[in-house]
Amino acid sequence: MTNSANTAAVRTWFITGATSGIGRELTALALGRGDNVAAAARKADQIRDLAERHPGKLIAIDTDVRDEASVRAAVDRAAAAFGRIDVVANNAGYGLFGAVEEASDVQARALFDTNVFGVLNVLRATLPVLRQQSSGHVLQGSSLYGQTAHPGVGLLAASKYAVEGLTDALVAELAPLGIKVTLIQPGPTSTAFLSNLDLADAIPSYDETVRTTQKAISELPPTAFSTPVRVAEGILAAVDAETPPLRLALGTSSAADMRTALHARLAELDRWADVSNAVDR
Ligand SMILES: NC(=O)c1ccc[n+]([C@@H]2O[C@H](COP(=O)([O-])OP(=O)(O)OC[C@H]3O[C@@H](n4cnc5c(N)ncnc54)[C@H](OP(=O)(O)O)[C@@H]3O)[C@@H](O)[C@H]2O)c1
């Protein structure tokens, strides 16, 4: 780890999607080091064990991130219970698999309702608290697919690219107010994510691309997946850092695939520089 100056103080976390996968492990790690957690969750019973193990440190608040009023109520409860919010983990999300053309309008809008508008609901509800404190750290749930995409993940990538785009502006808006921001970019991680995937109806023209990719993903060995606890440990490292990264790739394949995509993008920018520059007056 490069720096780790902020480990001593007890923090209060507001974590969405805290009942399973990465969010649950993050909740458990935070509680394990003595922090407080307000868990915005739809299935509170899934973290009852953590609440019993850490009395007074965890409150589970029934929250659907798509519902702005429910998010605001959850943030009010968290702030009332713990007096402050130090870390906001905008973690709730799910995936949609299918060709861009295959995804229905209903599926595409539902995905954005959670993965993008849910993130905005959480930001609008929590940032007044963080601005009032002049401190805090926002963790934005992105993905490998926030930087690159392949057949079948177009809509999922669109939702994560949206989060990345707004976060590139957000970080500069919040820095002068004392608030840090980090995009969390896991690669394949062994959670309920794949079993919770929404699947688009297949159009045979995409069998060679989308279905072939889908089959390859379904045949990945367990070693191709990070564990959610390791991903949560990586997130904790960013939260503890004096100077956290804006983007944090989690998993070697995630980092490698993003590196390949970024190099290809730069190379193309260079290849077409003459045309780009010729457009100037
Ligand atoms: N696993 C991966 O391979 C991977 C890779 C890159 C990025 N990610 C990202 O990591 C984040 C966490 O996913 P995960 O892998 O831990 O999957 P997960 O185990 O399926 O957890 C997703 C969590 O999000 C919650 N959620 C979904 N929709 C919600 C809503 N409308 N309101 C409130 N909560 C909602 C779920 O709650 P319910 O149980 O109530 O539905 C669940 O707790 C997601 O943003 C995902 O895109 C995952």
- Per residue, the 3-state secondary structure of the chain, as one string, reads CCCCCCCCCCCEEEEECCCCHHHHHHHHHHHHCCCEEEEEECCHHHHHHHHHHCCCCEEEEECCCCCHHHHHHHHHHHHHHHCCCCEEEECCCCCEECCCCCCCHHHHHHHHHHHCHHHHHHHHHHHHHHHHHCCEEEEEECCHHHCCCCCCCHHHHHHHHHHHHHHHHHHHHHHHHCEEEEEEEECCECCCCCCCCEECCCCHHHHHHHHHHHHHHHCCCHHHCECHHHHHHHHHHHHHCCCCCCEEEECHHHHHHHHHHHHHHHHHHHHCHHHHHHCCC
The predicted model gives 5-32 an average pLDDT of 92
Quote the ligand 1 centre to 231 CA distance (angstroms).
13
Closest atom of ligand 1 relative to the 46 alpha carbon: 39
pLDDT band at 4 (very low <50, low <70, confident <90, very high): very low
- pLDDT of residue 155 exceeding 70, the answer is yes
Identify whether the C-beta of residue 175 lies closer than 8 Å to the C-beta of residue 117: no
Residue 117's closest CA among 129, 130, 108?
108
CA–CA distance, 86 with 185 (Å, rounded to integer):
21
Q: How many Cα neighbours within 13 Å face the side chain of 57? A: 20
Does 231 sit in the ligand 1 pocket, CB within 6 Å? Answer: no
Taking a C-beta distance cutoff of 8 angstroms, is the pair 97, 214 a contact? yes
User: Can you tell me the distance from the alpha carbon of 241 to that of 162, in angstroms, rounded to the nearest whole number?
Assistant: 26
C-alpha span between 125 and 72 (Å, rounded): 5
Q: In ligand 1, which atom is closest to the CA atom of 186?
A: 6
Give residue-wise pLDDT tens across range 243-272: 999 999 999 999 999 999 999 999 999 999
pLDDT at 6: 61
Whether the pLDDT of residue 2 is over 50: the answer is: no
Ligand 1 centroid to 92 CA: how many Å? 4
156 lines ligand 1 (CB under 6 A): no
Which residue, chain included where needed, has tokens 């564990």? 227
70 ligand 1 Cβ < 6 A: no
Query: What is the arithmetic mean of pLDDT over 168-172?
Result: 98
Cα–Cα distance for residue pair 61/237, rounded to 1 Å: 26
AA letter at 230: R
Contact 21, 196 (CB under 8 A): no
- Interatomic CA distance for residues 60 and 23, integer angstroms: 13
In this predicted model, what pLDDT tens digit does every residue of 46-61 receive, in sequence order? Answer: 999 999 999 999 999 9
DSSP β-ladder status, 12-16 and 247-250: unpaired
43 lines ligand 1 (CB under 6 A): yes
**What domains appear along the chain, each with residue ranges and CATH number?**
12-254 (3.40.50.720)
> What pLDDT score was predicted for residue 1?
39
Q: How far apart (Å, rounded) are the C-alpha atoms in residues 149 and 166?
A: 18
* Model confidence pLDDT, tens digit, residues 65-111: 999 999 999 999 999 999 999 999 999 999 999 999 999 999 999 99
Q: If pLDDT is split at 50, 70 and 90, which confidence band does 8 have?
A: low
Nearest 5°: the CA angle 110, 111, 115 is: 125
For ligand 1, whether the C-beta of 117 sits within 6 Å is no
Q: Which residues pair with 90 in a beta bridge?
A: 140
230 Cβ closer than 6 Å to some ligand 1 atom: no
